[in-house]
Structure 1
Amino acid sequence: MEALNHIENTTLPVEVNFEKLKELGLAYIQKNNDNTWTNLNPSDPGVTILDQLCFAFTELGYCNDFSIKDILTNKEGELVVKNQFYLPENILTTSPITINDFRKYVVDKVKELINLQITPVKSQCNVYSVKVLINRRIDKEKLIETVTINNEEKEITVKSQEEIILENTFFVLNSCRNLGELFLYPTAFKAKKHQVYGQLEIESGYDINTILIEIEIAINNYVFPKLIQEGYNELKKEKETTNTIFNGPKLKNGWIVESNMRPKRNRIKAYELTEVIQSIAGVLSITNVLFSHVKTPYEVWSSEEEILVFSFIDSLEKNSNSLQVFTKGKDISASINASIVKELSRLDDANSQISKVSTVQMAPELPSGMYRDISSYYSIQNTFPDAYAVGNEGVSANASAFQVAQSRQLKGYLTLFDQVLTNQFMQLASLDKLFSFENSVTGTPSDQEQFYSIQNAFEKKHGEYPSPFVCFSPTYYYQSLYKEVPHVRPLLRNFKKHEFGYEVQTLRENGWKEYQKDPYNSYMWGLMSFMENEEVNLKRRNDILNHLLARHGESPILIDTIIEGTVYSGNSQKDKVIIKSLYLQNLGLLSYYKTKAYNFIGATKLTINHIESSSELPEKEYKELQKKLVQGNQKNFIFDTLKVDKEQKITNLDFTDFSAVELKLNLLFALNVYYQDYLVSYNNAYAYWLITQRKGFLCIETNLLKESVDYEIVITEDLKGELYWKLTQKLRYKQLIELEILLREQVDFIDLQKRYPLVKVENKNNRGSDFVSVENSSYKWSVKIPLDENSLSITDSFFENELLLIFPKFFEGTLNFKISDFKNRLSYFLESELPVQITTKNFFVKNCLLKELIIAYVNWYNSLRFNQEKGTLHGGNLIANAKKLIKILVELNQLNHD
């Protein structure tokens, strides 16, 4: 049914109420004219002018009442969202933080996974073990393939599907790893299978095969449910709130709500299965349920590494006699072909996978608006009676000079109102620029667009005028009145400037067009100068950016404290505007990945360039760099906002190579600018490497260092005696965790010796202070990292869950860079950004140590990466490279204390 439109008899708001506006205008006149204006009738010219202005104000009021979606809809009918708003699926989601977040993310990325369990491991680090439930139809056997190598056929072993899934799971987990956290390599649950005994009664008319498949799926889902992904609309129909739907990581194949993420059940009783089976449509009853191959037939259980699997269909196999199926009281067990049911079950699994990756609506649709040509302006002079001679007709051809002067005098007076009104319309039309995250580059967008629209490609590239209509971050918008005001030409200052050529007394016919094309004619220059007061603009723009920050949950006071003293342009107010704008443009990704660490497996390989051979860049290369850097961020004496926005744009790929903290620190502290200014005066290869290969500093997680090395272990149960046992082999980090778990389980010492080769050592070779108790056990152990002649205990405070930030010291004393101020701001920043379990150490390193440190860092960093050629998790020499870096860091730490 169509909606019936009607007019309500209510008072219009004052902004669109002509009568009320005129009433207010007349009241103002009477109050302020000192009794000199007595004729306020319609016949008075002043009242006529008031009438036209009030009509124009109602048009402005009408446009002001447009919905925001209309105002933000462009000429193409598209809603302007970029750099205006962050969509809910982008700003309400975060990279995985909680265990359930990681489960959602991995299941979404690895389609063969049914579910997974992530468990914190109690150890020196934030480590998590991962157990996965893989689709049981996946082939677990390794494949043997025949390949031809050098004209000779050879058999090679190919990874099984299960191994590939486990590897993919590990890669996905590390792609979203958080700072200070590590994941052990995933393992698959060990299936603990049980057959089900009982008598099943099925209702007549139901397909037996379908019911049996549904029963088995329901039972196994009861043990550890498959994570179901649904679209946004489906979840809204289920009364889920938007915040609940988007709580967690951004997914591609459908959202997973927390209420559907039940933990794995390690204990199942027979009556529970009875309830599950009887809830299936078509099942009348099931009785005498019990389990096979167990001492307690009415209850089964599993460990954390196992998963209970109930082979309901296998129970129908011939000779098993474990399950009887009845319909209408008749036993039909013998007539059921279990192999067919299994095949149908496989098909059902395949269909579920297809439906999982089918297209779903992941987010609400954007509202659609109607384009409104708000900036177009119709001059009030066109609405005056012809007698006023200010409209399109103007003065008559035989008018006297006095009449022409009268007309122009009135037009000049009215044009002031026209200019104010057209500027107001442009201000409203530019709302998307006023509250944009990006700083505007012009206060008169329509004139700039017109200026470039009549130029060819060559003229655009080789402009006659420097930066036409460009200024830094205007907040007041305006436009010219060349076409809007009839016969405006003689009212504009120096309007004859372009009528004459260089030759004496050569009149140019297109002088008026040339005047309009000149972005710096007297009219436009005066208008720009009047509208664009930089001091006012900067204060107003800063207030707007503070509002935008607060609207997105960011504290402007916190940001101001962090960036105080950061230099971009030399003007502190302008610097704040620049940095806040850059931060807001990148806030979507920075907030999404706030706690994320870099992906050490898939990071881009680092190169050392010239550092190994020289502390300076080659002369030719440095001269070219210097020439480029001297230009800075200015263009025609105006800060080049577009250039800086492009250079500082953060992408998803950046979070593979850098942690969010690194990217945010670089942006808010404007480290690029310090490096650029420094490199203009100094040829320093270390500085160039730090700003091009990293983000101006080195960021090292000590947990990654601990994961990279091997360990010497000594175990004892008696610190006072001589019962010290040393492992004859060094352990890698995963093996160290496994040993710690064994000791906590209070494994018998004889069993321990069977698993690990042990040799007795004397007490004098061990310091009691190096030994720590293993939690929940009688054991104590010493864990050390062997470093050539010396060793470093894992209990050393240097190897707590720390983040090491290493900066060059050559900035001190240059570029107004004060390390003390920088340290204070850095400490404040890190305190607000990092999780409470992570501590930090900051180092400022001299040139003499930078070379050795950078080389060691690069070698270790590259060794952590996945070795594509060999297909191994890490590259070669990881342990040796890590130990070399640790030795340098220990020395650096000692120097820092000294």
Structure 2
Amino acid sequence: MEELNYIENTTLPIELNYEELKDKALSYIQRNNDSTWTNLNPSDPGVTILDQLCLAFTELGYCNNFPIKDILTNKEGQLELNNQFYLPEDILTTSPITIEDFRKYVVDNVKEVINVQIIPITSDSLLFDGVYMVEVLIDPKIDKDKRIKITQVKNGEEEVCIKKQSTIILDNTFFVLNSCRNLGELFLYPSYLINKNCIVHGQLEIENGFDLTTVLVAIKYAINNYVFPELIQTGYRELIIEGETIDTVFNGPKLKNGWIAEADMEAKRNLVKAYEITEVIQSIEGVLSITDVSFNNLNDFEVISKSEEILVFNFEKKENNTLQIYSNGMSLNAGINNAIIEELSVLEQPIGQISKVTTTKMFPNVPQGKYRDISTYYSIQNTFPDAYAVGSEGVSSNATTFQIAQSRQLKGYLTLFDQVLTNQFMQLANVGGLFSFANSVTGDPTDEQQFYSLETISEKSNPKYPAPYLCFSPTYYYQSLYKEVPNIRPLLRNFKKHEFSYEIQPIEKKIYDGWANYKSDPYNSYIWGLLSFMEDEEVNLDRRNNILNHLLARHGESPVVIDTIIEGTVYSGNSQKDKVIIKSLYLQNLGLLSYYRTKAYNFIGATPLKITCKDFCKTAQNENKIIDDFCKDTVVKEEGFCEELIKVIIKEERKKWVQGNQKDFIFNTLKVDKEQRITTSDFINYAAVELKLNLLFVLNTYYQDYLITNDDALAYWLITQRKGFLCIESQLLKESADYEIIISEGTEGEFFWRSTKKITYDDIIRIEEDLKKHEGFKNVKKKYSFIKGDGKYKKENFKTIEDSSYSWFIKISCGAGKYKKIAYPFLNNTLVFIFPKFFEGTNWFKTPGFEGKLDYFLENELPVQVEYKIFYKEGKDLKDVIIAYSNWYNSLRFNQKQGTLHGLGLAQNAQKLVEIIINFNEHSYD
């Protein structure tokens, strides 16, 4: 249908109303001119000037009323979103936080899994806080026992091995869960749900005209799907049509294959009653009635499954049918083909639930704007009558000197209005830059673009002028009037400055070349005067800081909290400028920091840490930072920490650090933005809290300043390998270590049993589950090696196992056959932070100092169930913990050579690190 355009007879707003603007101006003149201006008719030159200004103001008002999507649309017709807005699917989603989020994420990323059950481990022992058991429902179409050939690299060579399809699915599920694991949480290796078959008895009557097989297939699918529904993914538009809001659609992780409605996130039913199945069958199209429903034995009206089981309902036994089927009084049992029903029910999917993600949009459409050329300015002097001699024609060729002076005097007066107006148009055209997360680098983008458009490649690489048109984060924008105001040249200060030549030239050419050189000089009196007068730096920084505070608040971040954390940090030496820099960097990275805000690092897929001389030599040579002579004179060590090589690297790096972040005495915003940009891959190697701490506390700059005067290899390693500090999750340490268990049997605890072989973290959880069952310890002794206790044990060390007649005492291995009881706070879901000693009591931050601000930050950032412990170390203590941490960190990773979940020596490396931290903890109370 063709759009109809029409004019409404309504009063225009004042910014578009020429008559009202002029009336207000005339009223103002009459009130304030002390009767010196009496002729306010159109014949008066002052009124003519007023007319042109009012017309120009209506043009500005017209542009001000453009939709914001038009103002932010560039010449290519694309909406400029980068560093302006976060799209709903980016800012409303989060990395999985709740159990429902993890379920969605697994189903989206492991195509063979149609649903998953994630159960928190419940135990009185803090050892298992934040640990989850995972049980997946594999698509019944998949043969779990099918053998699959896979190729993996072992010892540098490709090797073909055979794995069950179920094992591959469980491996993938485990990797996916750990890729989005949160701080203080652990997922046990998954298992798949085991079918518990149940036979349905009853009397079923089918409506006449319906195909028996089709109805039975639908019934079988419906009742089995009722127990643990398949999670169906669909498009954004479909969910909105169904009544979901944009907040609920994007509530959870960002998915690739379609969104999952909250209403579909039902838990697995472990108890199903006959009347429930009756209602499900009755809802199937073609079913007239269903009566006398029971299960297995005719007297069973409910069935129960264990956590690791899933109820699967069937209609028949091998020897006879248990579901009697009729239609119009005739039995239909003879026509049942059980094999076909079984096969088709697996493939069945209700109409309306088929995923349409491939044909629909996953996200709402981005608004489409229309490009508006707002910054191009048309001078008011061009609209004056020719008699004023200020337009493009100027004065006549036979004008007297006095007439030329009159014209230039009026032009000078009008040019002031032109400059104000063109600056306003420029300000509007750069609203995107004004409210951008990134700091602008020039207040005059038009002249800057024109300047570089005339430069050759050689001139761009060898600039004639320092920092042309650059300044730090302007909030007022402007542009020159070289082209816009006709005959402006003689009005500009020092306009003859470039009119010189080393050879005799015609006066016309000297003037022409001089004017061209004047305009191309970014520091001529006119442009430099504009830059100087537009805004005072102190006022500008205060204004920019307020804008960034507004942007922070708009994204749910407290500017007060950010100010408290960053107060006293140093980037440039100007405290107000530093706030602007850090807030800008934070906003640029807020999308990812917000999405992954509770995420831990992916210990399976993380990049290995460089700790040996061999590692650093390879890196240094690739980046041309080291002279080969060093390696010739140094024994390449495979173990240990290569301090001497790092010190050589530090000396090379100093050349860059000494230059700092200044370029031509202007803070190099673009360089810092690039260096501090956080990418998705960073969240593989670091927890979100590590990246945020490094960014807000400006650790990179502080380390660089420190290393300029200190050959500290440990400090250099920390800032290049671990963002400036070590962050150790006690959950991962506990999961990595070996344990000894003493079990007390009997109500009085008179019998003790001690494990004789190393017990893993997963083993402890399974032992506890077994002890809660009937004849639990007999089952435990079948799986694990225990002997009667050969020592005296204090009863106060034992903890009762809930819902059992046992208690136990768990000790963690500390190497060399030594075990210590788990009585240290850092082992109870704690993050252990280790900083270099020079951070402790430093004056780098203002009161309350680094330690106080760090406490404030961690209390605000960490999940409520996660505690933290901070140590400040130097010398041998710091070196020992770095080596132990690196070895443990690297052995946690997936072992590509062996094709195993972890590398070699994991338990031993964990034990070494635990022993070091225990010693730190004991000495901290000395």
TM-score (normalizing by structure 2)? 0.92
Helix, strand or coil for the counterpart of 2:285?
A: coil
Residue identity opposite 2:26 in structure 1: L
Equivalent of 1:527 in 504, 525, 530: 530
1:821 maps onto 2:824 in alignment: no
Q: Which residue of 2 aligns with 1:725?
A: 753
Q: Is the 8 A contact 2:206 2:287 kept in 1?
A: yes
Superposition map of 1:225-240 within 5 A: 225-240=229-244
Q: CA deviation at 1:332?
A: 3.5
Aligned counterpart for 1:126 among listed residues 130, 149, 162: 130
Residue 626 of structure 1: aligned partner:
654
CA contact (8 A) 1:144 1:155 kept: no
d(CA) in 2 for partners of 1:156 and 1:33? 96
Q: Is the 8 A contact 1:710 1:731 kept in 2?
A: yes
Partner of 1:299: 302
Where does residue 46 of structure 1 map in the other structure? 46
Amino acid at match of 1:436: S
Q: Does 1:161 align with 2:165?
A: yes
Most deviating of 332-341 and 687-696? 332-341
Partner residue in 1 for 2:60 = 60
- Hey, what does 1:771 align to over in structure 2? 798
**Matches of 1:213 and 1:466, distance apart in 2:** 78
* Paired residue secondary structure (1:195): strand
- Answer whether contact 1:812 1:818 (CA < 8 A) is retained: no
**1:873 matched to which residue of 2?**
901
Q: Tell me which moved more, 110-119 or 4-13.
A: 4-13
Given that 1:278 and 1:286 are in contact with CA atoms closer than 8 Å, whether structure 2 keeps it comes out as: yes
Cα shift at 1:351: 12
Letter in 1 for 2:229: P
The residue type equivalent to 2:802 in the other structure is: E
One-letter identity of the residue aligned with 1:579 = I
Amino acid at match of 2:592: L
1:283 partner amino acid: V
Moved more, 335-344 or 48-57: 335-344
Q: What amino acid sits opposite 2:261 in the alignment? A: V
> Residue deviations 1:157-194, cap 9 Å, x none?
61111111111111111111110100111111110012
Aligned residue for 1:424, secondary structure, equals helix
- Alpha-carbon displacement from aligned partner over 1:622-651 (angstroms, at most 9, x marks no partner): 332111111211111111101111111111
The answer for unaligned runs of 5 or more in structure 2 is: 617-639
**What is the Cα deviation at residue 195 of structure 1?**
2.8
Q: Structure 1's 7 and 147: CA in aligned 2 closer, same or farther, altered over 3 A? A: closer
Q: Distance in 1 between matches of 2:454 and 2:879?
A: 55
Check the 8 A contact 1:129/1:183 in 2, yes or no: yes
Asked whether the equivalents of residues 390 and 410 of structure 2 are also in contact (C-alpha less than 8 Å), the reply is: yes
Instruction: Give the C-alpha shift of residue 716 in structure 1.
Output: 1.5
Higher mean displacement: 402-411 or 11-20: 11-20
Given candidates 503, 526, 543, the residue that maps to 1:540 is: 543
Q: Which residue of 2 aligns with 1:559?
A: 562
TM-score, scaled to structure 1: 0.95
Does 2:809 correspond to 1:782? yes
Aligned pairs for 1:463-474 (under 5 A) are: 463-474=463-474
Aligned-partner SS, 1:9: coil
Instruction: Find the counterpart in structure 2 of residue 835 from structure 1.
Output: 863
Letter in 2 for 1:714: I
Cα distance in 1 between the residues matched to 2:688 and 2:776 = 45
Q: Structure 1 stretches of 5 or more lacking a match?
A: none
State how far apart, in whole Å, the 2-side matches of 1:214 and 1:363 are: 33
Letter of the 2:172 partner, please give it. Answer: N
| Contact 1:678–1:815 (CA under 8 A) maintained in structure 2 | no
Q: For the Cα contact (< 8 Å) 1:201–1:326, is it kept in 2?
A: yes
Alignment partner of 2:924: what SS? helix
Deviation of the 1:491 alpha carbon: 0.7
Equivalent in 675, 678, 697 of residue 669 of structure 1: 697
User: Alignment identity in percent?
Assistant: 64
8 Å Cα contact 1:52/1:384 also seen in 2: yes
Distance 1:428 1:680 in 2: 44
SS at match of 1:197: strand
CA–CA separation in structure 2 for the residues paired with 1:352 and 1:31: 74
1:441 alignment partner AA:
V
Pairwise CA distance, 1:814: 7.3
Q: Which position in structure 1 is the counterpart of 2:643?
A: 615
Whether contact under 8 Å (1:600, 1:865) holds in the other structure is yes
Structure 2 residue 479 is the aligned partner of structure 1 residue 479: yes
How far apart are the structure 1 equivalents of 2:678 and 2:450? 32
Q: Does 1:281 align with 2:285?
A: yes
Q: Which residue of 2 aligns with 1:262?
A: 266
> C-alpha displacement at 1:328, in angstroms?
3.9
| Aligned-partner residue type, residue 130 of structure 1 | V
Q: 1:48 to 1:356 in 2, by over 3 A?
A: closer
* TM-superposition CA deviations, 1:256-301 (whole Å, max 9, x none): 1221111111122222222211211122223333323x47433221
Is the alpha carbon distance of 1:356 and 1:45 closer, same or farther for their aligned partners in structure 2, counting shifts above 3 Å? Answer: closer
Deviation at 1:661, TM superposition (A): 0.3
- Give the drift of 1:605: 1.0
Deviations 1:443-469 (A, max 9, x none): 011111111122222222222111110
State the SS of the aligned residue for 2:913. Answer: helix
Q: SS of 2:754's equivalent?
A: strand
Moved more, 612-621 or 515-524: 612-621
1:192 corresponds to which letter in structure 2? Answer: K
Partner of 1:715: 743
* 1:502–1:809 distance in 2 versus 1, CA, 3 Å: farther
Give the superposition deviation at 1:90.
Answer: 1.0
Q: Which residue is 2:919 aligned to? A: 891
Q: Is residue 704 from structure 1 mapped to residue 732 from structure 2 by the alignment?
A: yes
Structure 1 residue 16 displacement after superposition:
1.0
Q: Which amino acid aligns with 2:908?
A: A
Residues 618/879 of structure 1: CA separation in 2 closer, same or farther (3 Å cut): closer
2:188 to 175, 181, 184: 184
Within 1, Cα distance between the matches of 2:402 and 2:429?
40
In the alignment, the residues of structure 1 paired with residue 749 and residue 582 of structure 2 have an alpha-carbon distance, to the nearest angstrom, of: 63
Deviations along 1:320-349, one digit per CA (max 9) or x if unpaired, are: 322344444433333343334444445547
CA distance in 2, matches of 1:566, 1:147: 51
Shift of 1:760: 2.0
Post-superposition offset of 1:156 = 7.5
Q: Give, in whole Å, the separation in 1 of the partners of 2:137 and 2:817.
A: 46
- CA separation in 1, counterparts of 2:471 and 2:660? 17
Alpha-carbon distance in structure 2 between the residues aligned to 1:760 and 1:848: 42
Question: Which amino acid counterpart does residue 713 of structure 1 have in structure 2?
Answer: I
Match of 1:243 in 2: 247
Preserved CA contact (<8 Å) 2:641 2:883: no
Instruction: State the 1:757 CA deviation.
Output: 3.3
Cα distance change of structure 1 residues 887 and 502 upon mapping to structure 2, 3 Å threshold: farther
Match of 1:203 among 204, 207, 227: 207
Is the aligned partner of 1:846 residue 2:868? no
Aligned 8 A contact 1:500 1:506 in 2: no
Checking the alignment, whether the CA contact within 8 Å between 1:227 and 1:256 is kept in structure 2 is yes
Displacement, 1:146? 12
The Cα shift of 1:752 comes to 4.5
Whether the 8 Å contact between 1:180 and 1:801 is mirrored in structure 2 is yes
Q: Tell me the alpha carbon deviations over residues 791-834 of structure 1, each in whole angstroms, 9 at most, x when there is no partner.
A: 22123323111001111113568783679600100111111111
Q: 1:281 to 1:48 in 2, by over 3 A?
A: same
Alpha-carbon distance change, 350 to 549 in structure 1, aligned in 2, over 3 angstroms: same
CA contact (8 A) 1:22 1:50 kept: yes
1:762 positional shift: 4.5
Q: Does 1:596 align with 2:623?
A: no
Distance in structure 2 (CA, Å) of the matches to 1:564 and 1:105: 39
For the pair 1:652 / 2:680, whether they are aligned, the reply is yes
Give the aligned residue type for 2:583: K
Following superposition, the deviation at residue 387 of structure 1 comes to: 0.5
| Correspondence 1:744-755 to 2 at 5 A | 744-745=772-773, 747=775, 749-755=777-783
Displacement after TM superposition at 1:245 (Å): 0.9
Give the match for residue 136 of structure 1.
Answer: 140
2:357, 2:259 → 1: CA distance? 12
1:357 deviation in Å?
A: 6.3
Contact 1:722 1:762 survives alignment (8 Å): no
